[in-house]
Amino acid sequence: MSKLQLPRTLFPLGALALTTSLMASPALAETLNIGVMGELASFDTSQVSGGVWESQVLMDVYEGLFKKSPDGELLPGMATEWEVSDDGKTYTFHMREGAKWSDGEPVTAEDFVFGWQHLLAPENASKYAYMLYPIVNAEAINTGDKAADTLGAESLDGGKTLKVTLNHATPYFPQLLTHYTSYPVPKHLVDEYGKDWVKLDHIATNGAFKPVDWVSQSKISVEKSSTYYDADEVSLDGVNYFTTEDRNAGISRFRAGELDVLREYPSSRYQWLSENLPDATHMSPYLGSYYYVLNNREGSPTADKRVREALNLAIRRNVLSEQIMAGSFKASTAMVPPGTSHYDTQHMDLGSDDMNARMAKAKALLQEAGYGPDHPLNLRLRYNTSDEHKKIAIAVAAMWKPLGVNVQMINSEATVHYQTIQQGDFDVARAGWIADYDDAENFLTLLHTGVGNNYGAYSNPEYDKLMDQAAQTLDLDAREKLLEKAENVALDDYAFIPMLTYVTRNLVNPKLEGWEDNVEDDHPSRWVHFTE
């Protein structure tokens, strides 16, 4: 066994002079007001829909084995020391002494084992269960083929040690352990209250804050947890997360001082904001892809590869990036965004740059697929409510119109949108994916057969085989080649419509410290404080 080596800086407790530079001395008690894009589905992590806004709330109230610094580096969380076997398959974590749930009960290794079993339980139907599949028997448990107690995670030494056994070495596993799928669940509360453990009058959390109020479609409020092991170093007294789907209204609330942070301001407002609120307007590189899902289920017109190729050929991505989004997105023809570690950006083959030639080919493909003036292609395009999503949808529909494609646009708030497309009730649907960890696998798994967030139900045996091979490949260069080959299989199949890559866009009160731009756009509130 050896000390865990990570792709990013990480210090075991013995080597950790705990980053006093990261921790501001508590000042006057303050409440942070954040405008987020949607509403949390549940404080039960097995029921989370996958929105970036949900991660913001959950990382404040829960803490995994590791946590993140303001700039995205990994730090010890519920684990303070750990070892990894030479073959990379066995991790041994030593739990933090004195760590407590907000009701005062100790946080133990058993809470992690139980939490992971809870997320994997078939009856909970977690869309994110696949995140734990690197662990021995996780997938079999999730599909109902094995019992929960066969999971390769066990609590030892009376809950002071957590031993995790993986199917194979997994380079991104340490980063995965900051994601909400790996958070613990308070077993003592589930034993007492069953599914009602998550209600606010029962819930306990183990992070720097605990939930105290929830007004549906309006606001979630959390307050500082007095039982958190670093409570004395947490400056904020609480955080309010306001559901702010109308981003322009969010800007008005920010300017009025009602919000200290607005997550993802409209791209169309960047120039005005940078000129009028330069100290508050943030934009930085981001590991995120904006794409359209194509329904590959039988009966949908987009299950036909010819239709998928035609729709891709007609998209003018530079127009979307430079004109519709005013340069606040970058054009993309791939799923994995530029800047992803140990990966070269791939590209969908769209043939000629001549749009006339592309449109002619697209028309021929649709005609071959049986569509024309007497039998037009009718598509339902779903997007979640947002001015920029609407602008992009209108622009795309206009690009398809010369092909004789009729588009019915359907919008709904984010949680409903993702629930609907999860059920397959669409032809084309807007989706975005922000990296849970800096690895190409995190994006490419979205197209693996059976994965919860594979909204289009795309399935290709060759793709799955390459992804499965990559998952078992220790050599990073060989693994990269397998992942790149897999992406090209999906790109050649026109499995989806890549369009744009993200940048982070946030308005941040200049009086805040401890809120730093980073490529994953994670900003734990436990580091944030107000200056005078």
Provide the percentage of residues in the chain whose pLDDT is more than 70: 95
pLDDT at 24: 38
Complete DSSP assignment for 44-66: SGGG----HHHHHHHHHH---SE
Q: Which two tokens stand for residue 25?
A: 């001395």
State the Cα–Cα distance between residues 140 and 152, nearest whole angstrom: 11
**C-alpha pair distances (Å), 145 with each of 150, 182, 326, 369, 419:** 11, 21, 50, 40, 26
Tokens, residue 73: 């580096």
What per-residue confidence (pLDDT) applies to 278? Answer: 97
The answer to whether 497 touches 312, Cβ cutoff 8 Å, is yes
The predicted-structure confidence for 258-315, as pLDDT tens digits, reads as follows 999 999 898 889 889 999 999 999 998 789 999 999 999 999 999 999 999 999 999 9
Q: For 172-205, what is each residue's pLDDT tens digit?
A: 899 899 999 999 999 999 999 999 999 999 999 9
Confidence of residue 386 (pLDDT cuts 50, 70, 90): confident
Helices (H) and strands (E) counted in the chain, each on its own, are: 15, 20
Q: What is the pTM of this model?
A: 0.74
For domain 31-251+509-530, is the CATH number 3.90.76.10?
Answer: yes
What is the pLDDT confidence band of residue 387, given thresholds at 50, 70 and 90?
A: confident
Report the C-alpha gap between 436 and 1 in whole angstroms. Answer: 27
Task: Kindly state the percentage of the chain with pLDDT values over 90.
Answer: 79
Q: Which CATH number fits domain 285-504: 3.10.105.10, 1.10.510.10, 1.10.3210.10, 2.40.180.10?
A: 3.10.105.10
R_g over Cα of the chain = 23
Which of these, 438, 422, 248, lies nearest to 342 by C-alpha position?
438
Q: pLDDT tens for residues 212-237?
A: 999 999 999 999 999 999 999 999 99
Looking at residue 25, what is its pLDDT?
38
Q: Residue 29's pLDDT is what?
A: 56
Tens digit of each residue's pLDDT (9 = 90 or more) over 320-371: 999 998 888 889 999 999 888 889 999 999 998 899 999 999 999 999 999 9
Q: Report the amino acid identity of residue 307.
A: V
Mean pLDDT (the chain, rounded): 91
- Round to whole Å and give the CA distance between 50 and 31: 26
Predicted local distance difference test score (pLDDT) of residue 273: 95
Angle between helices 305-313 and 355-368 (to 10 degrees): 160
User: Domain residue spans in the chain?
Assistant: 31-251+509-530, 285-504
Q: What is the pLDDT of residues 403-456, one digit of tens each?
A: 999 999 999 998 899 999 999 999 999 999 988 888 999 999 999 999 889 999
pLDDT of residue 10: 36
Question: Pick from 495, 484, 409: which is nearest to 447 by CA?
Answer: 495
256 vs 238, 463, 529, CA distance in Å? 20, 50, 20
pLDDT digits (tens, 9 = 90+) for 466-480: 999 998 887 889 999
